[in-house]
Structure 1
Amino acid sequence: MLDVTTLTQALITRPSVTPADAGAMDTVETILTDLGFTCTRLAFGEIENLYARRGTASPNLCFAGHTDVVPVGVRTLWKYDPFGAEIHDGQVIGRGAVDMKGAIAAWIAAVSRFPDQAGSLSFLITGDEEGVATDGTVRVVDWLKQTGEVIDHCIVGEPSSSTQLGDMIKVGRRGSINATFTVTGKQGHVAYPQRALNPLPVLVDLLAELKARTLDDGYASFPPSNLEITTIDTGNTATNVIPQAARARVNIRFNPTHTGVALSQWFDTVARDMAERSGAAIEVQSSISGEAFLTEAGPFVDLIADVIQTQFGLDTDRSTTGGTSDARFIRNLCPVVEFGLVGQTMHQINECVAVADLDALTDAYSALIEAYFSKFGSAS
């Protein structure tokens, strides 16, 4: 059996800030090969990905995660080397400790306790979750479909727990769409506004119209959708010039009441109507990061909740909160649930994970694997 803390440290010492891999995927591949997995490396662009499977029978239980991490920020603010993986006061310190190298290590350590299983175990590991996510899991999912590879259920090891291990799992996520509105008017002198067309009042009116709409009142298991203005820019450094153009970006986090396409069409309609009324030219560029999804209550979700109740004595919160994750791509293959470490320090200076939590998560993952094949297959 493999030691989860040692594995976590080995992964943290690989400075795999997106898109760099820095040997992190090699580390995972070597360990999984030794555990009897057939590993397939999938490189897309600058990104290293890995799909590994042990067994050929169904069901196939997959663990999905990412080895890439966000930048460390101001390095001098770290108490210890962010890639040193030192242990202090029972905590492993380092970038990626909870998001999410610790969970990858915990699942590998759990798998090492099972020399065989009734069906198949697989790993889908990407190096492009913290970046733009165009050459990571979404490309691997396409490859799996093309090759006819079937995954029956998936656990994503994101740090889903809120304040204590197991208190929350993620059974869905809201969708996300970004849009940039560029209003082009006519530059001129502020003393002669009749000779110009100021794009800023047009942009303000457009944004006010967007904000005035109540998108919805919520959806089963989801909060209401929300639109947020994230930036307004003109680039105007003069005090006596009406600018030529102004831009704003907005983001909507939306529940299953909406689709990304429908919201994009709404943006286009509002912009077109505002352009007709104002005489300004308005361009819209929309980008859909992911659609909303929900893994419905059923045997798989119940199994995870039951394991958490047994291991931690908690009635886990089946949540849809938070940002996006790669579960949004995997849900096109199979039911998917996120269950991982406590995310209190993710993306922060001095990110860390308790050694006790690593051990406890490994035990929980082991119990989950055993319960899964007992329920969905025949244990061997």
Structure 2
Amino acid sequence: MPSLDAVRLTQDLIRRPSVTPADAGAMDVLQAELARLGFSCRRMRFGEIENLYARYGDARPNLCFAGHTDVVPVGDTAAWSRDAFAGDIVDEILIGRGAVDMKSALAAFAAAASAAIARGEVKGSLSFLITGDEEGVATHGTKMVVEALAAEGEAIDHCVVGEPTSAETFGDMIKIGRRGSINAQITVEGRQGHVAYPHRAANPVPVLVRILARLDAHVLDEGYTGFQPSNLEITTVDVGNAATNVIPAAASARVNIRFNPAHTGAKLAAWIEDVAQAEAAGFPGTVTVTPAISGEAFLTEPGDFTDVVAAAVRDVAGRDPELSTTGGTSDARFIRALCPVVELGLVGKTMHAVDERAPVAEIRDLQAVYERLIARYFERFGG
């Protein structure tokens, strides 16, 4: 069986403009390669989102690779030096939307799996959990696949997510945890009136200002082992009042909290509600808090699995990666319900940017790291 070329496969994937929620054939490209390698492939469509679960072997342990084929929009096409979906290589740099986040990682792990299978190193199972809904609202992607697999009793022992985790230099960082995230919409409804007759109105703006000031002044924590302090940010304040002589009927704001394991989303939602109602005491109107928890904080404790991943990086990159919990959320927040999970990928500086790009040499290095990871994993955990 001919070997799988990670760079060529990355180009093929980039040439499918799979901007969330569109698939544009990207999942078909990856599935065809995995099927050729002997993976049993299962498409799992929820809503308009294409998902794929593919498995090679039926024994344990089952090492899973998770990732996404969807990408963010290109933005200003004129600002790109090359067509964002052409997959051009210029001076040994691959340019295109998804080059870093994260079609290269999909291709690199597929190529690594191909090599491991050819060498007879898979002493258990390899699997792929791929979604087309990571860059969007993430309601019909990995979350639902994980729920379906759990309900079926599918056993996944450990998982590697191919997000671009390296910070400055390839292999300098892997992610072993992430902070949680909660958004909250706060709406204060009062009574509209003339500014010259405030007694006839109920101004919602001062109430909202008090709520936001109290939320913003509160120190959530001083940090948590392995995590930076939690932070609350006011992301928008909206009144929609174009007149200078009208007290508005309503005012709203949104806040976001990125939180470490010292908190849960539910407890933070309750705290926001309590603050809002306390600051609105005596106000002849209503205050509504609508929270949305997009993920809880989690940590994969350093141990045998993280040692295997770090050693694979050291084998290829010659450095010990930092075990980090920084950054935003990823689909690891859903997979952690099934098994321990870490994230390992390319340098993320150009993800979501104009001329997103990855050096060809680093894509091949990533494949080499994944190959060493697979080999070391089954040496450590295989039967």
Structure-1-length-normalised TM-score: 0.98
Residue aligning to 2:171? 166
1:3 is aligned, of 5, 8, 14, to: 5
Identify unmatched segments of 5+ residues in structure 1: none
Residue aligning to 1:308? 313
Residue aligning to 1:44? 46
Deviation per residue, 1:208-248 (Å, 9 max, x gap): 11112110110000011000000000111111111110000
Deviation per residue, 1:187-213 (Å, 9 max, x gap): 111122222111111100000111121
Name the CA distance, whole Å, in 2 between partners of 1:327 and 1:152: 14
Name the CA distance, whole Å, in 2 between partners of 1:34 and 1:112: 10
Residue aligning to 1:365? 370
Residue aligning to 2:248? 243
2:135 is aligned, of 96, 116, 130, to: 130
Q: State the superposition RMSD in angstroms.
A: 0.8
Q: CA deviation at 1:280?
A: 2.8
Q: CA deviation at 1:274?
A: 2.1
For 1:112, the aligned partner's letter is S
Residue aligning to 2:63? 61
1:113 is aligned, of 102, 112, 115, to: 115
Deviation per residue, 1:153-182 (Å, 9 max, x gap): 000000000111110000000000000000
Name the CA distance, whole Å, in 2 between partners of 1:203 and 1:279: 13
Q: Does residue 1:21 correspond to 2:26, yes or no? A: no
The DSSP-based 3-state class of the residue aligned with 2:44 is strand
Alignment of 1:98-247 (within 5 A): 98-115=100-117, 116=120, 117-247=122-252
Q: CA contact under 8 A between 2:158 and 2:339: conserved in structure 1?
A: yes
Deviation per residue, 1:110-132 (Å, 9 max, x gap): 11112241100000000000000
Q: CA deviation at 1:310?
A: 2.0
Name the CA distance, whole Å, in 1 between partners of 2:284 and 2:167: 50
The DSSP-based 3-state class of the residue aligned with 1:278 is coil
Q: CA deviation at 1:289?
A: 0.3
1:275 is aligned, of 269, 277, 280, to: 280
Name the CA distance, whole Å, in 1 between partners of 2:316 and 2:31: 29
Q: CA contact under 8 A between 2:315 and 2:372: conserved in structure 1?
A: no
Identity of counterpart residues, as a percentage?
Answer: 62
Residue aligning to 1:350? 355
Deviation per residue, 1:14-39 (Å, 9 max, x gap): 00000000000011111100000000
For 1:278, the aligned partner's letter is F
Name the CA distance, whole Å, in 2 between partners of 1:212 and 1:92: 46
For 1:258, the aligned partner's letter is H
Q: CA deviation at 1:76?
A: 0.9
Name the CA distance, whole Å, in 2 between partners of 1:20 and 1:13: 13
Name the CA distance, whole Å, in 1 between partners of 2:355 and 2:363: 17
264-273 or 364-373: which moved more? 264-273
Structure-2-length-normalised TM-score: 0.97
Name the CA distance, whole Å, in 2 between partners of 1:263 and 1:308: 37
The DSSP-based 3-state class of the residue aligned with 1:125 is strand
184-193 or 199-208: which moved more? 184-193
Q: CA deviation at 1:67?
A: 0.2
Residue aligning to 1:79? 81
Residue aligning to 2:96? 94
Identify unmatched segments of 5+ residues in structure 2: none
1:289 is aligned, of 272, 276, 294, to: 294
For 2:77, the aligned partner's letter is R
Name the CA distance, whole Å, in 2 between partners of 1:113 and 1:317: 27
Name the CA distance, whole Å, in 1 between partners of 2:138 and 2:291: 16
Name the CA distance, whole Å, in 1 between partners of 2:173 and 2:283: 49
Name the CA distance, whole Å, in 2 between partners of 1:279 and 1:253: 33
300-309 or 54-63: which moved more? 300-309
